[in-house]
Chains A and B, each alone.
Chain A
Amino acid sequence: QKEVEQNSGPLSVPEGAIASLNCTYSDRGSQSFFWYRQYSGKSPELIMSIYSNGDKEDGRFTAQLNKASQYVSLLIRDSQPSDSATYLCAGDQGGKLIFGQGTELSVKP
């Protein structure tokens, strides 16, 4: 089983700062990557998908993919207390998503 790894955190940032979440993967065949946000007691919510090298921006979120180095990152600009959640990274392996264990983010007012 190929792996997706994330630092479990918690990652604490002050309100208004940039939060940087990182993920590495072992399967070079993975083509698609996804970031999910999960609030405590809730289900995962898809916030970003990225399929090609480089950056993809959506509002305050930027996903970055570097296939040569096998890492994926998520930047959250102007972090808000409402961004406090666990962020899950997932990579597609032949139609199945393999999830990292998630990084807990805490944004302090």
Chain B
Amino acid sequence: DAGITQSPRHKVTETGTPVTLRCHQTENHRYMYWYRQDPGHGLRLIHYSYGVKDTDKGEVSDGYSVSRSKTEDFLLTLESATSSQTSVYFCAISESGSPGNEQFFGPGTRLTVL
């Protein structure tokens, strides 16, 4: 998985609790991304980062926040989890942005919100 780890790999939580997912890379790539994947919706971008402390919103950012204090770590936080946030979350990294935006994905985190 191109030197990308995600933690935890599985998590079950209750509605209203905060949840933080971590993505860690050892490739020293500048760009990092968080996606969610749901049946019928495919992969959708939540937030992305183009450098330390530089982040921006994606297509489905409501209810999520991110932080990147180091090149290697990109955190995704659900401030108050809802059942609609039950999904598989993937982190991806890219050495360059557009146009040669080859992204490599981590193993994913399966999140269930009860």
Contacts and interface: CB of A to CB of B under 8 A. Distances in A.
Given A31-B98, A32-B99, A101-B41, A43 B107 contact: yes
B45 interface: yes
B106 A43 contact: yes
Interface string B43-54: 111001010000
Contacts of A107: none
Interface string B24-63: 0000000101000000111111001010000000110000
A6 to B, nearest CB: 9
* Interface size range of chain B in the complex: 20 to 34
A44 B97 CA distance: 19
Contact of A44 (B40, B43, B58, B59): B43
Q: Which among B42, B45, B90, B107 has the highest number of chain A CB atoms within 10 Å?
A: B42
Interface string A73-109: 0000000000000001010101111011110000000
A9 to B, nearest CB: 13
Contacts, number: 59
A51 B100 contact: yes
A46 B106 CA distance: 12
A1 B101 contact: no
B51 to A, nearest CB: 12
Interface string A15-50: 000000000000000011010100000111110010
Interface of B: 1, 31, 33, 40-45, 48, 50, 58-59, 90, 97-108
14 contacts: A42-B107, A43-B90, A43-B105, A49-B100, A88-B42, A92-B101, A95-B48, A95-B97, A95-B101, A97-B45, A97-B103, A99-B43, A99-B44, A100-B42
Interface of A: 1, 31-32, 34, 36, 42-46, 49, 51, 88, 90, 92, 94-97, 99-102
Given A95-B98, A100-B42, A102-B42, 18 more contacts: A31-B99, A32-B98, A32-B100, A32-B101, A42-B107, A42-B108, A43-B90, A44-B105, A46-B102, A46-B103, A49-B100, A88-B42, A95-B48, A95-B97, A95-B101, A97-B33, A97-B103, A99-B42
